[in-house]
């Protein structure tokens, strides 16, 4: 570790992290004033007296704002774009400062710079192919939606489902995609889209081709998923599939409890009755 002039540091214009919360930056500035920089910035030697920031742009910005002349750094040798992105990706895994969209951009940048497929990227990052595909897919969301999702700290699981559902709407409506996304986000906010199961129902409806019902749902702020099922000819089938999935899970849980607990004869009888009932429903379904 060594100290270098802050004027010799160069932010990377294509680094994945794009959002810097002003209030959090102020807290970091105050912390640096009191205690200094506790973790050195990771920089890349550009061999011209300059250093490209690999990790620590918030610390760099905060230090610059409060007038520091030097900052502690750890210097890495020159890297390719792919190597740089991979390094950043693994560094952020350790301190989790990136937003979900920063993470998605890092994956996308890594793939573009390396010229590799989702499968190759998944192998290098230690993820499944579908996970890499879903993460890079959320970048299709508009900047407006990305900002909304970041500000509300909406989990990745819902971000992915909103993107997937918006893509289904995109296939059959001329409404701008940003408007579709914001309508879906409003429904998420006002609880007419309550769970991941609700999103999955709508995705199923879209896959089955009931465009009219999906548009009714999108344009009516108060319409709930229950009403979508009532208007859809295969609504009962969707509900049965969902019930079957939950029933299978419940049967597994009941059997696990039965094996682990010292049950009275009456409790065992209740368990056997419940399990038999669910198995009958599953067999008939």
CA distance 240 to 242: 5
Residues 153-167: tens digit of each pLDDT: 898 889 999 999 999
Residue 39 has pLDDT above 60, yes or no: yes
- Residue 96 pLDDT: 55
- The burial of 234, by beta-carbon neighbours within 10 Å (0-12 exposed, 13-18 middle, 19 or more buried), is given as middle
Q: SS in 3 state form for the chain?
A: CEEEEHHHEECCCCCCCCCCCHHHHHHHHHHHHHHCCCCCEEEEECCCCCEEEEECHHHHHHHHHCCCCEEEEEEECCCCHHHHHHHHHHHHHHHCCCCHHHHHHHHHHHHHHHCCCHHHHHHHHCCCHHHHHHHHHHHHCCHHHHHHHHHHCCCHHHHHHHHHHHHHHHCCCCCCHHHHHHHHHHHHHCCCCCCHHHHHHHHHHHHHCCHHHHHHHHHCCCCCHHHHHHHCCCHHHHHHHHHHHHHHHHHHHHHHHHHHCCCCHHHHHHHHHHHHHHHHHHHHC
Please tell us whether the domain made up of 1-78 is placed in CATH 3.90.1530.10: yes
pTM metric for this prediction: 0.61
Residue 267: what pLDDT?
Answer: 73
Domain coordinates in residue numbering, the chain: 1-78, 80-139, 141-233, 243-284
Averaged pLDDT for residues 93-102:
70
Q: What is the mean pLDDT of residues 9-33?
A: 79
User: Rounded to whole angstroms, how far apart are CA atoms 203 and 246?
Assistant: 19
Residue closest to 218 by CA, chosen among 226, 228, 209, 208: 228
Q: Residues 213-262: pLDDT tens digits?
A: 999 999 998 899 888 888 876 656 665 666 666 667 776 776 776 666 67
* Spatial contact of 9 and 60, defined as CB atoms under 8 Å apart: yes
pLDDT at res. 271: 73
Q: What is the pLDDT of residue 241?
A: 61
Exposure of 227 in the CB half-sphere (CA atoms within 13 A): 13
The mean predicted confidence, pLDDT, of the chain is 83
Strands 41-45 and 2-5, sheet pairing: unpaired
């Amino acid at each position: 570790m060594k100290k270098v002039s802050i004027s010799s540091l160069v932010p990377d214009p294509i680094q994945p992290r794009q959002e810097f919360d002003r209030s959090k930056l102020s807290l970091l500035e105050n912390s640096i004033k009191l205690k200094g920089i506790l973790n050195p910035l990771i920089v890349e030697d550009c061999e011209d007296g300059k250093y490209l920031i690999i990790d620590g742009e918030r610390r760099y910005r905060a230090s610059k704002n409060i007038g520091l002349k030097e900052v502690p750094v750890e210097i890495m040798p020159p890297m390719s774009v792919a190597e740089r992105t991979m390094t950043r990706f693994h560094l952020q895994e350790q301190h989790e400062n990136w937003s979900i969209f920063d993470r998605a951009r890092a994956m996308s940048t890594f793939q573009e710079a390396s010229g590799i497929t989702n499968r190759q990227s998944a192998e290098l990052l230690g993820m499944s192919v579908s996970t890499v595909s879903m993460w890079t897919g959320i970048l299709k969301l508009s900047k407006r939606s990305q900002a909304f999702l970041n500000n509300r700290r909406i989990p990745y699981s819902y971000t992915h489902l909103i993107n997937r559902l918006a893509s289904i709407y995109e296939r059959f409506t001329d409404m701008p995609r940003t408007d579709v996304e914001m309508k879906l986000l409003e429904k998420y906010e006002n609880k007419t889209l309550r769970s991941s199961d609700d999103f999955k129902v709508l995705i199923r409806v879209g896959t089955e081709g009931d465009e009219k019902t999906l548009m009714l749902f999108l344009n009516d702020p108060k319409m709930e998923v229950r009403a979508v099922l009532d208007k859809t000819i295969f609504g009962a089938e969707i509900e049965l599939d969902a019930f079957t999935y939950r029933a299978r899970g419940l049967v597994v849980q009941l059997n696990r409890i039965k094996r682990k607990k010292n049950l009275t004869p009456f409790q065992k009888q209740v368990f056997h009755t419940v399990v038999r009932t669910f198995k009958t429903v599953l067999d008939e379904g």
